[in-house]
Amino acid sequence: MAIDSIGSTESSTLNQSTLGQEDLFKILLTQLNYQDPLKPMDNQEFIAQLAQFTSLEQARESNEKLGQLIQAQSVGHAISLLNHDIQVSLESGSAVGKVTAINFSDGRPLFTITRADGPPLSDISLSQVEIINGDTSE
């Protein structure tokens, strides 16, 4: 028996981050409601599915914590550059200056660099940093 799809495939796909534990339990309860009473779900199969749901939730939580750890590490690295002389790449070449301020936009650090030979540069991302001078004794 062929089943034709209704609607587009794109709208029916779920984003992993939006599927939570409550949704998984709703799916399980729906499955239990519509099972054949003459062929009930095997206890081992039921327990295996619960274990899979638990594993999925633990993996999701681990990914979330790992993301928070990476963000904290990025913040720590950015703060360690405060008052350091750095060289950054710009569209017009390179510039050297001292990191005098750090702003965070969406969890990403953006530096303000004071240069001796020009106006301050702002909104410099970590990916633009080419060289870090560790000497801060000026």
Which pTM was predicted?
0.53
Tell me which residue of 70, 69, 131, 74 sits closest to 99, measured CA to CA. 131
Domain boundaries, position 120 = 51-138
Q: Read out DSSP for 6-38?
A: -S-HHHHPPPGGG--HHHHHHHHHHHHHTS-TT
Do the Cβ atoms of 87 and 54 come closer than 8 Å? no
Q: Please give the structure tokens belonging to residue 54.
A: 């638990």
What was the pLDDT predicted at 83? 93
Number of domains in the chain: 1
Asked if residue 95 belongs to a domain, the reply is yes
pLDDT one digit per residue (tens) for the chain, 138 residues: 444 444 444 444 445 555 666 777 788 788 778 877 777 667 777 788 778 888 888 999 999 999 999 888 888 888 999 999 999 999 989 999 999 999 988 888 999 999 988 899 999 998 899 999 866 555
Asked if residue 81 belongs to a domain, the reply is yes
Asked if residue 18 belongs to a domain, the reply is no
Measured CA angle at 11 (ends 53, 29), to 5 deg: 30
What was the pLDDT predicted at 41? 66
Asked if residue 61 belongs to a domain, the reply is yes
What was the pLDDT predicted at 133? 86
